[in-house]
Amino acid sequence: MNSPKPHAILRAALVLVALTWAGTTLADPAALYRQHCARCHHPDRLGAIGPALIPQNLHRLRKKKAIQVITHGRPATQMPPFGDKLTPEQIAGLADYIYTPLKSVPTWGMKEMQANHPVPHPHGTLPDKPKFQADLDNLFVVVELGDHHFTLLDGDTFEPIGRFPTRFAVHGGPKWAEGGRYVYFLSRDGWVSKFDVYNLTWVAEIRAGINARNLAVSDDGRWVMVANYLPHDLVLLDARNLDPVRIFPAAGKDGTSSRVSAVYAAPPRHSFIAALKDSPELWEIRYADDQGRPVPADQMTVRRLHLKGVLDDFFLTQDYRTILGSTRGGGAQVIDLDSGRDIARLDLPGLPHLSSAITWQRGDTRVLATPNIRKPEVAVIDTATWKVIKRIPTPGPGFFMRSHEKSPYAWTDVFFGPHRDLMLVIDKQSLEIVKTLRPAPGKTSAHVEFTRDGRYALVSIWDMDGAIVVYNARTLKEVKRIPMKKPSGKYNVHNKLTRSEGTSH
């Protein structure tokens, strides 16, 4: 028998390689998923930095739109475009794949939470005296996303007091509580971690969900409420040791199971306010009555407010009487919290980033200003009439906005596009951009927070080789630069606990 010719072997090998490649790319989206998506969305599609990609959580995303997102990326998220790496067939295969039900979705109930609940220092066992010298009312927590740490920063000297490892991908603002003694963090994969500032140590943790959204702490310091994307629920924890106390399954009145967009505490109302993401409902859960008397956990009830559209993002006014909410791809609605009525509609095209909005007094009216994730503008709204009174053009869409009662300026970033290294300073009365700063040319600058007295503004440079840049908030001159690893957000204890009008709550 003749042995095969070398070029025939080569051809057969090439065919085999091509078939294998085609097999992986066309017929095996699971392999593509593992290669391109698993790192951010979890190997089992349960969500990590990116959201869970399972049919239960994709109700509002049509497959056609999912294909666009995979191809072009998604603004205001960390989802990059794959159109230059994958063929349209591969992308379509991936889209089919993420709409395929999992064989089983893991349950995450009381039992699972209890089994993931270390309490290294039970409540009341550590000293009540701080281990360090600093003004306890002017501390900052700085989340360093770059290597999953946070720095506790002295707001007078701008010297770090300590640097501590966090869970993977902390998202949203850590919440200060009990006069600044404790801070609660939440990671996207559902871990709630409680830090004792006086003793500079983690005291309790619990995994409250698989894919979490944010958390809120009641003003009396007794409760932590966690909003989840997976499972579809809100979880009530006893703030002392983070013991799970009650699960509120999230479903609309018609029974539609739903992710939770976000939850916030409304101190004057003694309640938690949460929006459902797959059902047009806003929930209010009271933890104390009008006289401030605690409501026991098993007697807490859900008050449902029925809306015209689902809320993806929302802002609570300083008096916690009104909500301005927006729907991705839709308009904005203003809801009176007491009556539950829709009291105004606003023309806010693009994607106003309402959870980053702030308010201030301008003449005899209070205005609300919001950056926009899709449109290069800051919209300024009169909260008495709920009319847009100015659209300030910016060099690109922005993410965060900040000010302080004592500052004449509001600061906002240009998070997206070629001008992402700019920081804009807006005069709060003239509503004009009066200064454009470029703290680190070529690197994204974003997210500002003020010191307690409003004299200094701290800006993040979002880079592994990043920094916090401290500015004199009046002269707008740089005073200090503190190296940090992709510092995402920073949170001043005084501004947070006093619910300063210039910061997020």
Least Cβ distance, residue 504 to ligand DHE (angstroms): 3
Helix (H) or strand (E) holding 14: helix 6-22
Q: Does 498 bind ligand DHE (CB under 6 A)?
A: no
Q: Among residue numbers 396 through 435, which ones bind ligand DHE (CB under 6 A)?
A: 399-400
Per the CB < 8 A criterion, the answer to whether 98 and 54 are in contact is yes
Q: What is the token pair recorded at 5?
A: 């010719």
* DSSP-derived secondary structure letter, 355: G
Residue 138 vs 504, nearer CB to ligand DHE:
504
Stretch of 75-83, 241-249, 364-372, 425-433 lying at the interface with ligand DHE (CB under 6 A) = 75-83
Name which position in 76, 245, 346, 431 contacts ligand DHE (CB under 6 A). 76
CB under 6 A: which stretch of 101-109, 167-175, 424-432, 470-478 binds ligand DHE?
A: 167-175
In sequence order, the 6+-apart residues with CB closer than 8 A to the CB of 9 are: none
CA angle 376, 382, 383 (to 5 degrees): 115
Report in angstroms the alpha-carbon separations of 71 from 66, 68, 74, 117.
Answer: 8, 5, 9, 39
Residue with smaller CB distance to ligand DHE, 214 or 359: 214
- 487 lies in the site for ligand DHE, by CB under 6 A: no
The nearer residue to ligand DHE, 92 or 212, going by C-beta atoms, is 212
d(CA 418, CA 89) in angstroms, rounded, equals 31
Nearer to ligand DHE, 21 or 168 (CB): 168
Per CB under 6 A, contacts with ligand DHE among 435-454 are: 447
The residue with tokens 């603002």 is: 173
Helix (H), strand (E) at residue 41: helix 38-41
Contacts with ligand DHE in 187-246 (CB under 6 A)? 214
Q: Which stretch binds ligand DHE (CB under 6 A): 76-84, 95-103, 107-115, 335-343?
A: 76-84
User: What's the closest the beta carbon of residue 123 comes to ligand DHE, in angstroms?
Assistant: 23
Residue from 141, 180, 138 nearest 164 by CA: 141
Residues 321-380 that bind ligand DHE (CB under 6 A): 355
CB of 26 to ligand DHE, least distance (A): 29
- What DSSP assignment string belongs to 144-194? EGGGTEEEEEETTT--EEEEEE--SSB-S--EEEGGGTEEEEEBTTSEEEE
| CB of residue 214 to ligand DHE, shortest distance in Å | 4
Rounded to a whole number of angstroms, the minimum distance from the CB of residue 355 to ligand DHE is: 4
Angle, vertex CA 389, rays to CA 383 and CA 393, nearest 5: 125
Give dist(CA 168, CA 100) in Å, integer.
Answer: 27
CA 357/CA 178 separation, integer angstroms = 25
- Contact code string over 255-294 relative to ligand DHE, x by CB under 6 A: -------x--------------------------------
Positions in 120-149 near ligand DHE (CB under 6 A): 145
Residues forming the site for ligand DHE (CB under 6 A): 76-78, 145, 171-173, 214, 262, 355, 399-400, 447, 488-489, 504
